[in-house]
Amino acid sequence: MNVLISMCLLGVNCRYNGVPKEDTMVKELLHREDITLISVCPEQLGGLPTPRTPSERKGETVVSSDGEDRTAAFTQGAEESLRIAKLYGCEVAILKERSPSCGNKEIYDGSFTKTVVTGEGVTAELLRRNGVKVFGESELAEFFEYVRRR
Ligand code: SF4
């Protein structure tokens, strides 16, 4: 089974601040014969550099901490991630929590005050709307249960 995965969870240096955020439990999935991880970084796929100033969703837009409108780059990254999910037949994804691209349940509120609200990142939302079941990295038990029941 192919599973779409946020590249930064594997320790790839693609985060906005250039600091890796490897998740050892997620990385263990690399050793399973029944799972193939297909890694994407939507923000890089949208043409943004690493490192980059941080971004947050603000309503239907995405803005950087220095006031730049990044909605187009985030939308492009989401569309390219969906293209890759479809190419590889990924019906499930494990994405980085609270990211403005990858967050599946919570995101920062657009005020850059570390305030978390209920919501999805741009890519997580597009994937969900196209039938991909999205889990965060702390939801591996739920992921395995979902996969077992399919
Ligand atoms: S866009 Fe997603 S994969 Fe890329 S650094 Fe942010 S959380 Fe990780």
* pLDDT for the residue 108: 98
Q: How far is the CA of 49 from the centre of ligand 1 (A)?
A: 12
| Amino acid residing at 126 | L
Contact 103, 96 (CB under 8 A): yes
Q: Answer positive or negative: Cα dihedral of 83, 4, 146, 121.
A: negative
Let me know how long the chain is.
150
Contact 110, 65 (CB under 8 A): no
Averaged pLDDT score across all residues of the chain: 97
What is the distance between the alpha carbons of residues 77 and 63, in angstroms, rounded to a whole number? 15
Ligand 1 site, CB within 6 A: 6-8, 14-15, 41-43, 96, 99, 101-102
What is the distance between the alpha carbons of residues 61 and 75, in angstroms, rounded to a whole number? 10
pLDDT in tens, 92-133: 999 999 999 999 999 999 999 999 999 999 999 999 999 999
* pLDDT for the residue 150: 85
Q: Which atom of ligand 1 is nearest to the CA of 7?
A: 3
pLDDT in tens, 71-83: 999 999 999 999 9
Q: Which atom of ligand 1 is nearest to the CA of 77?
A: 1
